[in-house]
Amino acid sequence: MKDYEIVVGLEVHAELNTDSKIFCDCKNVFGLEVNTQICPICMGMPGTLPTLNEKVVEYAIKMGHALNCKINSVCKQDRKNYFYPDLPKAYQISQAEVPICEHGYLDIFVDGEERRIGITRIHIEEDAGKLLHDDSFAGSLVDLNRSGVPLIEIVSEPDLRSTEEVKAYLETIKSILQYLNISDCKMQEGSIRCDVNISVRKKGSTEFGTRCEMKNINSFSAAVRGIEYEAKRQIDLIESGGVVEQETRRWDDVKGMSFTMRTKENANDYRYFPEPDLLTIVIDEDKIKSLKAELPELPNKKMARYIKDFGLSQMDATLIVENIDKCKLFDECTALNLCVPKNISNWILGDISKYMNETGKSILDTPLTAKRLCEMISSVEKGVISNSAAKRVMQIVIDEDKEPQQIIEELGLVQNSDVGFLENLAREVLAKNEKSVNDYKNGKTNAMGYLIGQCMKESKGKANPGMIKEIVIKLLEE
Residues near another protein (CB under 8 A) are: 40, 43-52, 79, 81, 83, 85, 88-91, 142, 269, 271-273, 276-279
> How far apart are alpha carbons 343 and 378 in whole angstroms?
9
Q: Least separation, in Å, of the C-beta of 255 and another protein? A: 24
The answer to whether residues 363 and 325 touch, using CB atoms and an 8 Å cutoff, is yes
| Residue among 183, 248, 250, 188 at smallest CA distance from 220 | 188
Specify the residue, 47 or 204, whose C-beta has the smaller distance to another protein: 47
Contacts of 421 (CB under 8 A, 6+ apart): none
Q: How far is the CB of 131 from another protein (least distance, A)?
A: 10
- Smallest distance from the beta carbon of 142 to another protein, in angstroms? 7
Q: How far is the CB of 272 from another protein (least distance, A)?
A: 8
Q: How far is the CB of 14 from another protein (least distance, A)?
A: 24
C-beta closer to another protein: residue 46 or 420: 46
In Å, how far are 198, 250, 345, 421, 445 from 327, measured between CA atoms? 33, 36, 10, 42, 42
Q: Name which of 54 and 113 has its Cβ closer to another protein.
A: 54
Residue number with CB closer to another protein (86 or 253):
86
Cβ proximity to another protein, 283 vs 324, nearer residue: 283
Q: Is the CB of 227 or the CB of 281 nearer to another protein?
A: 281
Phi, psi of 126 (to 5 degrees): -105, 150
Cβ-count burial 166-189 (b if 16+ within 10 Å, e if not): bbbbbbbbbbbbbbbebbbbebee
Of 274 and 449, which has the nearer Cβ to another protein?
274
CB of 97 to another protein, least distance (A): 11
Q: By C-beta, is 133 or 460 nearer to another protein?
A: 133
Adjacent-strand bridge partners of 6: 200
Work out how close the CB of 250 gets to another protein at its nearest, in angstroms, rounded to a whole number: 17
Closest distance to another protein from the beta carbon of 219 (Å): 28
- Burial of 290-307, coded b for 16+ CB within 10 Å and e otherwise, reads ebeeeeeebbbebbebbe
CB of 224 to another protein, least distance (A): 33
Distance (Å, whole) CA 80 – CA 271: 6
Min dist. Cβ of residue 246 to another protein (A):
15
C-beta closer to another protein: residue 49 or 243: 49
267/304 with CB nearer another protein: 267
Instruction: State which residue, 134 or 269, has the beta carbon closest to another protein.
Output: 269
Least spacing, CB of residue 281 vs another protein, in Å: 10
